[in-house]
Structures are given as structure tokens and as C-alpha cells.
Amino acid sequence: MCARACGLVGSATSPEGAAHHRTLRWTGTIPGFQPGGRTGSLGRVQPPRQYHNIALVGFMGVGKSTVGQILAGLLGFEFIDTDRVIETREGRRISDIFANEGEPFFRDLETNLIREYETRPGLIVSTGGGLIVRPENLASLRKHCLIVCLWASPAVIFERVRHQGHRPLLQTPDPLSRITGLLEQRKPAYQQADILVGVDFRSPQETAQYIANSFRLLHQARKSPQAAAAEPRH
């Protein structure tokens, strides 16, 4: 556990970052990640790399778009929602794309789209829930983004999406089982994120503020480890 209780939960900080930040770990009681609710060592310190954008990844219904828009406002970044861009370009809903062309076609659209952002700075990229599962998409995001995974428990996700009908993968007689199964299946991909934020008990505003603080702190740590060490923790 972070000895200073700063709330940061894992980082892609560089070796020159403050020692404090080199020891950040995934934290909190995230069901499925830490059985028994212990804070642990699941987090991995990623190899040092440059990033100037933030990617929000995570399951359907965790609030990526809502958090992303607030975050974009906090940091003065441009907000991009991959699902909305695809729908606009295709001129139809994602459910229509799935129904007419199939999921692999949609996944290719995601992969092509995400590559476009590799050279653009100042972006909050909110991704569709399955985008991070393709290794090439993860590799693309890693080139320029701090990757933040929003994590919610299956029950909370179910509550959030149960009255929404626009997600093709959840149009099943037993959406809760589907959510539980898919979440388990995708967990290894979500675990590749630099930061994991549990959102079961956080409002979108709190989550966005938390990510903004983490991003600023990590940036600060890369520029000046001393300044970052003196920064107040949130």
C-alpha cells in the first residue's frame, strides 16, 4: 500500500521519477483483482515511456465517457469517444454495424481509428469496452497514452446498463452472467492498464479529479522528481 496514502494506483512513471512513485501499486478492494480485498502487488511498473494523452479503458457501463468529458474539462484536453467517432463516420449505430457486418468488422474499425491518435497531443480517448483486448490496440495506446482502467463490479455494471438497450453484446436473456463472464475473460487485458480506478464507490467527478491529479503528478515526477515529492497528495 502506498505509505503516503496518496491514492495513486499504479503508474507508468519513469525511473527518474520520485522513489515514492516507483513503488505505486494497484490499490483498493477491487473484486476479482484482489480476493480478500487486500491491497496488493498486482500492479506492474511499466517500462518508462512518454505519453501526452490519457486513454480510458474498461468494461461497458463503467462511466468512461462521462468521466472522460469531465477529465477533458479539468485538463483542457480534447475529448474523443471511439464509439461515437465510429458511429458518426459510419452513419449508423454500433448495434447496426454488429448486426450487418459482424463484430470483427467493428473491431477493425476500432483498430484503424485508434492508430490515428498516435501523433495527436492533448487527448482524452474514451474507448469502447472491448478495444483494449486486441494486443495491437494496447500497443498503439501505449505509444502516447497513460492508460487508465475504470473498474466496477458485475453487479454495479448490471445496474447501470440494465435499462439501456444499445449494446449488442448485452442483448441476451441473462445479461448479468454475460457481464460476469466477459469481465473475467477481459481481465488480463484490463490489467495491462497503468492505473486502475475502482468506480463502484466514486462519482464520475471524483474519478475524473483523481485521474487528473495522478496525471499531473506523474508528469511532474518526470520533469522534476524533487517537485513531485513535495507535491500535496490527494
- Asked if residue 152 binds ligand S3P (CB under 6 A), the reply is no
Residues sharing a CB contact under 8 Å with residue 181, sequence separation 6 or more, in sequence order: none
Instruction: Note whether 168 binds ligand S3P by CB under 6 A.
Output: yes
Contact between 150 and ligand S3P (CB under 6 A)?
Answer: no
**Binders of ligand S3P in range 63-82 (CB under 6 A):** 64
Per CB under 6 A, which region of 68-76, 142-150, 167-175, 211-219 contacts ligand S3P? 167-175
Q: Which is nearer to ligand S3P, 10 or 129 (CB)?
A: 129
Determine if 167 is a binding residue for ligand S3P (CB under 6 A). yes
Q: In the complex, what is the shortest distance from the CB of residue 107 to ligand S3P, in angstroms, rounded to a whole number? A: 9
Count of alpha carbons within 13 Å of 110, Cβ hemisphere only? 26
Residue from 17, 28, 68, 128 in contact with ligand S3P (CB under 6 A): 128
Nearest-approach distance from CB 144 to ligand S3P, in angstroms? 20
Q: Using the rule CB under 6 A, which residue among 94, 114, 156, 193 binds ligand S3P?
A: 94
Q: Which residues bind ligand S3P (CB under 6 A)?
A: 60, 64, 83, 94, 128-130, 167-169
